[in-house]
Amino acid sequence: MGFLTRALLNALSLLLVTRIAPGALRVEDVRTLGGMALLLTVANTTLRPMLRLFALPFNVLTLGLATFGVDALLLALVVWVLEVPHGGFLSLLAVSALLSVLNALWTAVVGP
């Protein structure tokens, strides 16, 4: 799956998550949604593999739950850069879990 396809699917996932849980992440316009999708795609492509490698011992100890923390940290970074209002770190953790599920579904439908 190409970069643009992944960015569009991230935008669709973010739109769905903001409609499912409106208090967790408040995206007011399409421009912010697009910026979040692009930055999240770049962060997932570049930073996520390194952070998952550093979190590998915690990932082994928590049987994979540390991956949600890494995803929440990346989402927190994107939210901080774009100054998007949110409900706190726990809400970002829930949003990142929903995004992970939606992205797994998109990957199953579209392909890797």
Picking from 49, 18, 37, 46, the residue whose alpha carbon sits closest to that of residue 75 is 37
Cβ count within 10 A of residue 53: 10
- How confident is the model over 27-43, as pLDDT tens digits? 888 999 999 999 999 99
Please, what is the average pLDDT of the chain? 91
- How confident is the model over 34-76, as pLDDT tens digits? 999 999 999 999 999 999 999 999 999 999 899 999 999 999 9
Can you give the residue ranges of every domain in the chain? 3-110
Average the pLDDT over 20-25 and give the result.
86
